[in-house]
Amino acid sequence: MKIYNTLSKSKEEFVPIEPGKVRMYVCGPTVYNLIHIGNARPMIVFDTVRRYMEHKGLEVNYVSNFTDVDDKIIKKANEEGVESTVISERYIEECKKDMASLNVKPATTHPKATEEIDGMQEMIHNLICKKHAYPAADGTVYFRTRSFAGYGKLSHKNIDDLEGGKRNLLVSGEDQKEDPLDFVLWKPKKEGEPFWEAPWCKGRPGWHIECSVMSKKYLGDEIDIHAGGEDLVFPHHENEIAQSEAANGKTFAKYWMHNAFLNIDNKKMSKSAGNFFTVRDILEKYDPMVLRFFMLSAHYRSPLNFSADLMEAAKNGLERIRTAAANLQFLVGKAEGSLTEAETALLAEAKGYEAKFDEAMDDDFNTADAISAIFELVKFINTNANAEASKAFLQALLDALLTLTDICGLIVEQKAELLDADIEALIAERQAARKAKNFARADEIRNELLEKGIILEDTREGVKWKRA
Ligand code: AMP
Ligand code: ZN
């Protein structure tokens, strides 16, 4: 399995630090709004990376954070006149719903920044002790960027060519940063902002420190893969490396993966330009699997253009796969018997498409080529699966097709319709589980229903449900 590593700018053979196990950290969203379709790209892409690794027998410990303290969250909270946790908790829930719709597996751990403040203070303290950070007169703590020799290695920038961040002038007009390149680890509280007690000043963490700390806490000092969108390479990931490696004295992450951006009609998505879509907007018009299929139709390092035409093409492509799966399911139900000699030979041919799929995925997760291999298998199925075939043959083809679509996280099987009474019974079981604080079971039921196209909504009057 080869992975393109932003650090070396080349494809490298993937060798996990601990054999058979993968420690992977994916930077998650800042939760101040419903997630947009750009945010869904890393979620879907890295979920597919995880699924493929699991298919290969690797055990993946997948951590993805929620940034739940940030200027945008505070601004929205002040606009609505509520605590910022009201905003962040609301959008974490909404984000989880979108992830479930898109069949993105929940992470092994979804840490939240506000619950990791102690760990952040500990790392900041450690960095100060090691002279990699310093508190300034007003209590702001800065990372001493030039003290870390490897600064720039991820983004391939020369430290002397960097301009540095905003100057930070004190009331006296004096710049309290030692160097314009230094970045913030801890900042003093401002009126109307959440804050925590700290040795340097009452305040809150800078953004970069949270990922260094959560990655260390849940995955250890050295991890296999650190991932996110390409906008995070600089400064976010560069700063994470500086903080983690200066504090821990070890290589932070072996492989750095970055997805390219999703654009709308070849333009950058932006609210002000009026070409901004939340995942929810798109799911009003399309089956979530169409959006997932669309995201995987391009290689994750290629820019992806979102347009109505391309979504229609994705819809048709997915439909072809679904029709083949449905035909096979129908035929399997009627057929009998074991493999004939001719069928054994045909299955060997079908295996070739599975091998092609794996080859594409082994080449830096080339989902575009992997999907082409699925289409070749579909064509093969349409040619060779018929009412005369044996049950064993048809079942083997169905298994092959579903294995590949499962790796892509695409649900292509027709689910049997749930009766209203069954739904009500499951909702009652979920309520009982919640009452008993068995949230794992409650979530499981919610997801089970979601997979069958039933959406639950917790309201003040109780649980409401609808068919998607
Ligand atoms: P944010 O909430 O802005 O920190 O973004 C969360 C994740 O979504 C990060 O990994 C970003 O790099 C990624 N992301 C944001 N916008 C886009 C986009 N238009 N296309 C692809 N990825 C994006
Ligand atoms: Zn991060």
The CB of 41 under 6 Å from ligand 1? The reply is yes
CA–CA distance from 97 to each of 91, 263, 315, 446 (Å)?
A: 10, 23, 22, 10
Whose CA is closest to 221, among 237, 239, 244, 255? Answer: 244
- Quick one: which H or E segment has residue 143? strand 141-143
**Ligand 1 atom 4 nearest Cα:** 29
Which SS3 state, helix, strand or coil, does residue 224 take? strand
- State the Cα–Cα distance between residues 171 and 225, nearest whole angstrom: 43
Above 80 in pLDDT, residue 161?
A: yes
Q: pLDDT class for 351, splitting at 50, 70, 90?
A: very high
205 prior amide bond cis, ω within 30: no
**Ligand 1 atom 14 nearest Cα:** 39
The residue to which tokens 């995201």 are assigned: 295
Ranked by mean pLDDT, the top range of 193-197, 266-270, 441-445 is 193-197
The CB of 101 under 6 Å from ligand 1? The reply is no
**Ligand 1 atom 2 nearest Cα:** 29
The CB of 208 under 6 Å from ligand 1? The reply is no
For helices 117-129 and 208-219, give the axis angle rounded to 10 degrees. Answer: 100
pLDDT in tens, 291-329: 999 999 999 999 999 999 999 999 999 999 999 999 999
Residue 411: which residues within 8 A CB-CB, separation 6 or more?
103, 289, 405, 451
Q: What is the pLDDT of residue 174?
A: 62
The CB of 206 under 6 Å from ligand 1? The reply is no
The CB of 65 under 6 Å from ligand 1? The reply is no
Q: What is the largest distance, in Å, between two alpha-carbon atoms of the chain?
A: 88
Which ligand 1 atom lies nearest to the CA of residue 232?
12
Mutate to test the pocket of ligand 1, among 63, 231, 296 (most ligand atoms within 8 A of CB): 231
Average pLDDT over residues 252-265: 97
Q: Are strands 141-143 and 183-188 parallel, antiparallel or unpaired?
A: antiparallel
Whose CA is closest to 192, among 113, 76, 30? Answer: 76
Q: pLDDT class for 410, splitting at 50, 70, 90?
A: very high
Ligand nearest the Cα atom of residue 264: 1
Full-model pTM: 0.88
Q: What is the pLDDT of residue 422?
A: 84
pLDDT in tens, 55-92: 999 999 999 999 999 999 999 999 999 999 999 999 99
Give the Å distance between the CA of 39 and the centre of ligand 1: 4
What end-to-end distance do the CA atoms of the chain give, in Å?
A: 37
**Ligand 1 atom 5 nearest Cα:** 29
Which SS3 state, helix, strand or coil, does residue 12 take? strand
- State the Cα–Cα distance between residues 109 and 199, nearest whole angstrom: 29
The CB of 40 under 6 Å from ligand 1? The reply is no
Ligand nearest the Cα atom of residue 277: 1
Q: pLDDT class for 265, splitting at 50, 70, 90?
A: confident
**Ligand 1 atom 9 nearest Cα:** 229
Give per-residue burial for 360-393: e unless 16+ CB within 10 Å, then b: bbbbbbbbeebbbbbeebbebbeebbeeebebbb
The CB of 235 under 6 Å from ligand 1? The reply is no
Token code pair at residue 163: 């301009």
Is the Cβ–Cβ distance between 403 and 346 less than 8 Å?
no
Q: What is the pLDDT of residue 277?
A: 95
CA dihedral angle for residue 454, residue 455, residue 457, residue 462, rounded to 10 degrees: 0
pLDDT in tens, 3-43: 999 999 999 999 999 999 999 999 999 999 999 999 999 99
Which ligand 1 atom lies nearest to the CA of residue 229?
12
Q: Are strands 203-205 and 262-264 parallel, antiparallel or unpaired?
A: unpaired
Q: Considering the chain, what is the average pLDDT of its residues?
A: 95
Burial class (CB within 10 angstroms; exposed 0-12, middle 13-18, buried 19+) of 118: exposed
Strands (E), 189-242: 203-205, 223-229
pLDDT in tens, 426-464: 999 999 999 999 999 999 999 888 877 888 888 888 888
- State the Cα–Cα distance between residues 330 and 397, nearest whole angstrom: 13
Above 80 in pLDDT, residue 175?
A: no
pLDDT in tens, 352-371: 999 999 999 999 999 999 99
Ligand nearest the Cα atom of residue 27: 2
The CB of 42 under 6 Å from ligand 1? The reply is yes
Ligand nearest the Cα atom of residue 244: 2
**Ligand 1 atom 11 nearest Cα:** 229
Residue 425: which residues within 8 A CB-CB, separation 6 or more?
none
Which residue type is seen at 205?
P
| Cα 214 from chain centre | 16
Mutate to test the pocket of ligand 1, among 39, 45, 277 (most ligand atoms within 8 A of CB): 39
Which ligand 1 atom lies nearest to the CA of residue 231?
12
Is the Cβ–Cβ distance between 185 and 143 less than 8 Å?
yes
The CB of 228 under 6 Å from ligand 1? The reply is yes
The CB of 39 under 6 Å from ligand 1? The reply is yes
